[in-house]
Chains A and B, each alone.
Chain A
Amino acid sequence: MTALGSLASGRRLLVFVGPGGVGKTTLAAATAIDAARAGRRVAVITIDPAKRLADALGLDGLDDALRPVPGIVGGTLDAAMLDTRTSYDSLIARVADDPVERQRIFDNRVYQSFSRTLARSHAYVAMERLHDLYQLEAHDLIILDTPPTRSALDILDAPGRLSRFLDERVLAAFVADEGRGAGAWLRAKGTQAALRLFGAMAGDALMGELAGFFEVFFHLRDGFTARAATVQAALRAADTRFVLVSAPASTHLADAAYLRDSLLARHVPVDALVFNRAFHRTPTGAPLDAGEGWDPGGLLAQVWPDAPAEALATLEAARAERARRAEDDRARAAAVRAFAQGVPTARVLRLPRVGRGPDSVDELAALAAASREEGRWT
């Protein structure tokens, strides 16, 4: 089994979290391909707005729909990249039976901006998709890729946040009399003094649209709360694991540490820490710091007595480059060790730096395969 494969072994839901730019999406895709080739029925979802998964899987313009990835032998792999607007529209289309009602929602300005542009909506929609996939039970393994740090926490918090709000009196008051919307809200008593002032600050038009927006959710409330509970349970199920991916550079580690502590505070099972680009590859697999003990001048005298001057300069540059890489690897290993002390129960996997990101399913599979020989568990 490959090192990436062992992350997925025995799991039903695997959530990849980590700071941006550490190769999280690539590793999620490689893990998915690896598990699919091992015979499992796998689905991978990315909610990162950048089209990286599409690039890596060679699927141009991968949209909201779950699609089979071609070229998988053994099991199956379906991939989806969440487009917030499409996902929301299809959710509304599914739950709002009445066409007039449906159109009213689509025309709502707050709904439009919420579903198209605003960050938090990624979290809500990811939750919906995860719920649908989980309930579908058509896959043995679901891999959820997440956007960088901040939004990854939103995914954990969003279900609770919205359903908590939906349960609150504030919403009940907000849409107390469905026909009167914001008017009813503004006339309501109690804590509504605060909301009234906010209305005065933000303007009646926004209040009206917000009232309309929350009415949408008011109608969806029961279903939404139930789905939120299912997703919360799935995220904390016995066969669910979180994989925290980082790279060993100090700024990545600072963001990753914030995430690590936030996950632990939310009682999320962080099973593995994966450090991408943690050390340099060597052609023979020989450790970089074992190469000292020869001298460029002496070696050259032995093998190439009449060498031109640039041969010595080149050999010296080669030595310097190797020493630089060895030093870099040592610093990174020390940083990883220090970081891992924060999660003593997690397994730690270090993966080598590769020159160029994988471009195809085969290259992704090769990345997973290479993790067997080259991945270093500590």
Chain B
Amino acid sequence: MAHPLAARLSFFTGKGGVGKSTLVAAVAVEAARQGRRPLIVELGHRASMQAIFGVPSVGHAPLEVAPGVHASNVDLDAALAEYVAAHVPVRPLAQRIAGSRSLKRFFEAAPAVGEVLTLQRLEHLLAATPAFDPVLVDFDSTGHARMFLELPRVFEGLVPDGPVRRLLDDFARLLSGDEALLHLVALPARLPVQETIELHARLRAEHAIRVGTVFVNRMPPPAAPPTAPAVLAELRARIGDGHPARVDLACLADAIEAREDALAQAARLEALGERCLILPRIDGPLDRAALAALGRAAAGAP
């Protein structure tokens, strides 16, 4: 149980489409506002940060996407070159290795290479100076997050020594220590909540990483005064089916019901016993002000 800015390294996971990337961006904006130097790390072929921050493209090298906020999109070819350069001190040889077509084909087809390179990249970013703090990692799905957390175990006994072993050991230590948190993001809807509950149970049973905050994203605000349900039926009867206001009343009834459903789903997550934070739905465009407000709600002073 911890605040999203309480650790140096934070992972965010959740079912696709729950607004995870937007939330990571907002947390980063809030961290920068508090005077820290956040870095967002996107994994895989994603283009979320460039859309959110309105920058042309986010590449492998950290790019300042908003004042004080950096973002990086891990690129495996670049990570491979980096890896080889770090372990082969002779530059021409390193270039030959990284440029080897056979080796590239081998890495493209071999399992786990991409994941190990991603780890190497994360370690590299964590060691950068001036330091990035916090480093916020945006996983693209819950399956991806679990696979990543399982890496040290998958390689247990397979890699007894050498740089890859040290990398995996460091990562395992980092995951189980105080410096790393895993935050879960869900929507207050049946399937995302169910998947989050199952993921939480699996994390508890199989992994040492600490769960930080469970975010319940896009909670619809109350659509009407609490007294509205009492007068809705009467209004509907008096106005009649033919009047255009009937559509407005239907919208309202629907919104009241949606809010009730959402609250009931949020309650299921609150029952997990973790730090649970409900975030409001953002109406209208996601501009800088809206992102900053979401960031304050998600990661402001508790």
Could you list which residues of chain A lie within 8 angstroms of chain B, going by C-beta atoms? 19-22, 49-50, 52, 55, 109-110, 113-114, 117-121, 147-150, 153, 161-162, 164-165, 168-170, 174, 191, 193-195, 197-198, 200-203, 205-206, 209-210, 213, 247, 249-255, 257-258, 262, 280, 282-284, 286, 288, 290-291, 293-294, 299, 303-304, 307-308, 310-311, 313-315, 317-319, 321-322, 324-325, 327-328, 331, 355-357
Whether A117 contacts B251 by the Cβ 8 Å rule is no
- Other than A118-B115, A314-B252, A356-B261, give 8 A-B pairs with Cβ distance below 8 A: A19-B16, A117-B154, A150-B46, A201-B164, A203-B162, A255-B47, A291-B244, A318-B251
Select from chain A the residue with minimum beta-carbon distance to B238.
Answer: A303
- The answer to whether B66 has its CB under 8 Å from any CB of chain A is no
Contact (Cβ within 8 A) B239 A20? no
- Bound CA–CA A149/B88 (angstroms): 34
Nearest chain A CB to B54 CB, angstrom units: 10
Question: Which of these, B47, B52, B155, B163, contacts A258 with CB under 8 Å?
Answer: B47
Which size bracket describes the interface of B in this complex? 35 or more
Q: Which residues of A contact B143 (CB under 8 A)?
A: 49-50, 119, 147
Whether A324 pairs with B102 at a CB distance below 8 angstroms is no
Contact B160 A203 (CB under 8 A): yes
B103 near A311 with CB under 8 A, answer no
Docked-complex contact B105 and A206, CB < 8 angstroms? no
Do B195 and A50 touch across chains, with their CB atoms under 8 A apart?
A: yes
Are the CB atoms of B245 and A294 closer together than 8 Å?
yes
Would you call A165 and B109 a contact (CB within 8 A)?
Answer: yes
Residue B18, interface by CB 8 Å: yes
Specify which of A118, A191, A321, A355 is in contact with B248 (CB 8 Å cutoff).
Answer: A321
Determine whether the beta carbon of A168 is less than 8 Å from that of B231. no
Q: How far is the CB of B196 from chain A (nearest CB, A)?
A: 11
B245 touches A355 (CB 8 A): no
The total of Cβ contacts below 8 Å across the A-B interface reads 249
Contacts of B235 in A (CB 8 A): 304, 311, 314-315
A200 touches B247 (CB 8 A): no
Residues of A with C-beta under 8 A to B144: 119
Knowing A52-B191, A313-B225, A314-B225 touch, does A201 contact B252 (C-beta < 8 A)?
no
Q: Which of A120, A162, A203 contacts B114 (CB 8 A)?
A: A120
**A194–B140 contact, CB under 8 A?**
no
- B63 close to A (CB within 8 Å): no
For this complex, 20 residue pairs linking A to B, each with C-beta atoms less than 8 Å apart, are A21-B16, A113-B111, A119-B143, A120-B111, A121-B111, A147-B143, A161-B109, A197-B87, A251-B19, A255-B46, A257-B47, A303-B239, A314-B225, A314-B235, A315-B245, A315-B249, A317-B223, A317-B252, A318-B245, A321-B252
Chain A interface secondary structure, helix, strand, loop or mixed?
helix
Q: Report the separation of the CA atoms of residues A327 and B284 in the bound assembly, to the nearest whole angstrom.
A: 8
Docked-complex contact B51 and A149, CB < 8 angstroms: no
**Using an 8 Å CB-CB cutoff, how does the interface string of B248-265 with A read, 1 for contact, 0 for none?**
111110110110010000
In the complex, B112 has a CB within 8 A of chain A: yes
* Shortest Cβ distance from residue B145 to the other chain A in the assembled complex, whole angstroms: 11
Given contacts A109-B158, A258-B45, contact A19 B17 (CB under 8 A): yes
A120 to B144, CA, bound (A): 11
In the bound complex, do residue A288 and residue B247 qualify as a contact, i.e. CB atoms below 8 Å apart?
A: yes
Known: A148-B16, A303-B239. Is A194-B100 also a contact (CB below 8 A)? Answer: yes
Complex contact B251–A321 (CB within 8 A) = yes
B190, A165: Cβ atoms closer than 8 Å: no
Given the contacts A203-B159, A303-B239, A328 and B283 also touching, CB distance less than 8 Å: yes
Chain B's nearest CB lies how many Å from the CB of A254? 3
- Confirm or deny: B150 has a beta carbon within 8 angstroms of a beta carbon on chain A: yes
Are B48 and A203 interface neighbours, CB within 8 A?
A: no
Contact of B247 among A251, A282, A315 (CB under 8 A): A282
Q: When the two chains form their complex, are residues A148 and B141 in contact, meaning their CB atoms are under 8 A apart?
A: yes
Measured CA separation A121–B147 after assembly (Å): 12
Contact of A247 among B17, B88, B232, B261 (CB under 8 A): B17
Does B230 belong to the interface (CB within 8 Å)? yes
Q: Chain B residues near A120 (CB, 8 Å)?
A: 111, 114
Instruction: Give the nearest-CB partner of B44 in chain A.
Output: A150
Q: Judge whether A318 and B224 touch: CB under 8 Å.
A: yes
Given A165-B105, A258-B46: A310 touches B140 (CB 8 Å cut-off): no
Residues of chain B within 8 A (CB-CB) of A164 are 105, 109
Q: Given A20-B17, A21-B15, A55-B191, are A197 and B245 also a contact pair (CB < 8 Å)?
A: no
Return the contact of A200 from the options B47, B162, B258 (Cβ within 8 A): B162
Asked if A355 meets B254 with Cβ closer than 8 Å, knowing A303-B238, A322-B247, the reply is: yes
- Give the complex CA separation of A239 and B199 in angstroms: 39
How long is the Cα–Cα vector from A70 to B156 in the complex, in angstroms?
A: 44
Docked-complex contact A165 and B108, CB < 8 angstroms: yes
Which of A22, A153, A280, A313 has the largest count of B CB atoms less than 10 A from its CB?
Answer: A313
The residues of B that contact A324 with a CB separation of less than 8 Å are 283
Mark B152-188 against chain A: 1 for CB-CB distance below 8 A, else 0: 0011011111111100000000000000000000000
Q: Judge whether A331 and B142 touch: CB under 8 Å.
A: no
- Kindly identify which residue among B105, B163, B261 contacts A201, using a CB–CB cutoff of 8 Å: B163
Q: Does chain A have a CB within 8 A of B8?
A: no
